[in-house]
Amino acid sequence: MIYLLLAAGLFMGWSLGSNDACTFGTAVATRVVRYRTTVIIIAIFVIIGAFTLGPNNIGKLAELATSNEVMASSDSVRSAIENGTVAELRFKSGLKAAIIFICAGLTVFGINFLKFPVSSNQAITGAIIGWGLFYADYSNPDVLSTNLPKIGAFVATWVLNPLSAGIVSFILVGTVGRFLEKRLSTLGSYDMIIKTGYIIAIVLGSFSIGINSSANVTALYFDYAYSETGIAANLLTSPVITAGIGGIAIALGVLTYSKKVMMTVGGNIANISQMDGFLVIIAMALTVVIMGNVLGIPVSNTQATVGAVLGAGLTRGAKQVNFGVLKSIGIAWVASPTIAGLLAYAVAFLTQGFFG
């Protein structure tokens, strides 16, 4: 019964999968790769990414959730063991995770409805902080000094991630793109480069989504203290299973509800060619994998994609970039964690009788 609480995270994963698939929209919309082939490749590599490197990205998010009273700390697990209230703690942990996912999910849905690219990663982080602002005593200097560097690290990735993706994309398009262009001898060779490039991009991109997003989807159900206490105080205790379940949820989203998003994805941030299109995805994937593994923080694929598209556009000059659209995206990026945080704060206030 308690595992029903996983549904909120799985739903988040499902919607994230259907949304993140838009990264590969160009390949499908221009019929370079068939939709069926694309979603099968994505599903396979998302799951592989989630099971292999996905567990590396759970830690930092779980730490942030613990210091913001969303997840149970080792101390509270120990006291629950002493008081015989582990089952209650476990249920409350699962429920809190579900609340965070619902707040983040509603935010993502709302911003998506307004047709802005939104980062679920930002929404989850915002919701965790919102919850923490109510329950964690931020007026306590110890709590503040514990949380501020963690929050700072997450916020830093929101800037560093698109910036790095932009730089990687700028370099990749400027070097590999131009290198390939010079070797175009026939229309057939152009098609071959595009097709091979997109398949490589889909494989790498899906793998990076599996690594990153799986943590976003299920990390809050993971019992971070389990290795110390040996008692399950949350729904999931294995990092591999935790990330893997997230990956499967995302893959299901890709397989069942991604066609519309893929077909409607537009290139209105910058004018990029088919050739640059796959290099942008590769740049996004490289950035997300490297950043995720170096920092151990799940970073946003959406933000990386926007940064990479911008970087590719800049190789053709600033005129190619639609700065008006970027302004709207910037507003959405600020709004996303703020709205999710306010929602979580409101829910925390309304449920204080139960959780407090």
Using CB under 8 A, list all residues that contact other proteins: 30-32, 177, 181-195, 273-276
Is the distance from CB of 23 to CB of 110 less than 8 angstroms?
A: no
What three-state secondary structure class fits 25?
Answer: helix
The CA-CA-CA angle for residues 10, 14, 20, to 5°, reads: 135
Rounded to whole angstroms, the maximal C-alpha distance in the chain is 75
Give the torsion sign (CA, 328, 113, 3, 245): negative
Q: Which residues contact 108 (CB under 8 A, 6 or more apart)?
A: 12, 15, 16, 19, 118, 120, 123, 336
Q: Left if phi > 0, otherwise alpha if psi is -120 to 50, otherwise beta: which for 203?
A: alpha
- Per DSSP, the residues of 178-234 read HHHHHT--SHHHHHHHHHHHHHHHHHHHHHHHHHHHHHHHHGGGB-TTHHHH-S--S
In the complex with other proteins, the residue whose CB is nearer, 112 or 320, is: 320
CB of 185 to other proteins, least distance (A): 6
- Residue 91 or 190 having the CB closest to other proteins: 190
Q: Could you tell me the two tokens for 275?
A: 């050739």
Shortest Å, Cβ 177 to other proteins: 6
Give the burial class of 167: count Cβ atoms within 10 A of its Cβ; 0-12 exposed, 13-18 middle, 19 or more buried: middle
Decide whether 187 or 294 has the Cβ nearer to other proteins. Answer: 187
3 state SS of 76: helix
Q: Which is nearer to other proteins, 27 or 344 (CB)?
A: 27
In the complex, least distance from residue 303 CB atom to other proteins, rounded to whole angstroms = 25
Spatial distance between the Cα atoms of 68 and 287, rounded to a whole number of angstroms: 28
| 106-140 per-residue burial string, b: 16 or more CB within 10 A, e: under 16 | ebbebbbeeebbbbbbbbbbbbbbbbbbbbbeeee
CB of 22 to other proteins, least distance (A): 20
| Shortest separation between residue 61's beta carbon and other proteins, angstroms | 38
Spatial distance between the Cα atoms of 219 and 58, rounded to a whole number of angstroms: 5
Which CB, 116 or 198, lies closer to other proteins? 198
For the bound state, the minimum distance from the C-beta of residue 190 to other proteins, rounded and expressed in Å, comes to 6
Closer to other proteins by Cβ: residue 99 or 314: 314
Residues in the chain: 356
**Cβ closer to other proteins: 52 or 273?**
273
Which residue is it, tokens 């709205």?
339
Distances (CA, A) of 216 to 32, 199, 252, 284: 30, 25, 16, 17
Identity of the residue, 31 or 324, whose beta carbon is nearer to other proteins in the bound complex: 31
User: Cβ 188 to other proteins, closest distance in Å?
Assistant: 3
Task: Tell the smallest beta-carbon distance from residue 173 to other proteins (Å).
Answer: 8
Nearer to other proteins, 177 or 292 (CB): 177
CB of 267 to other proteins, least distance (A): 12
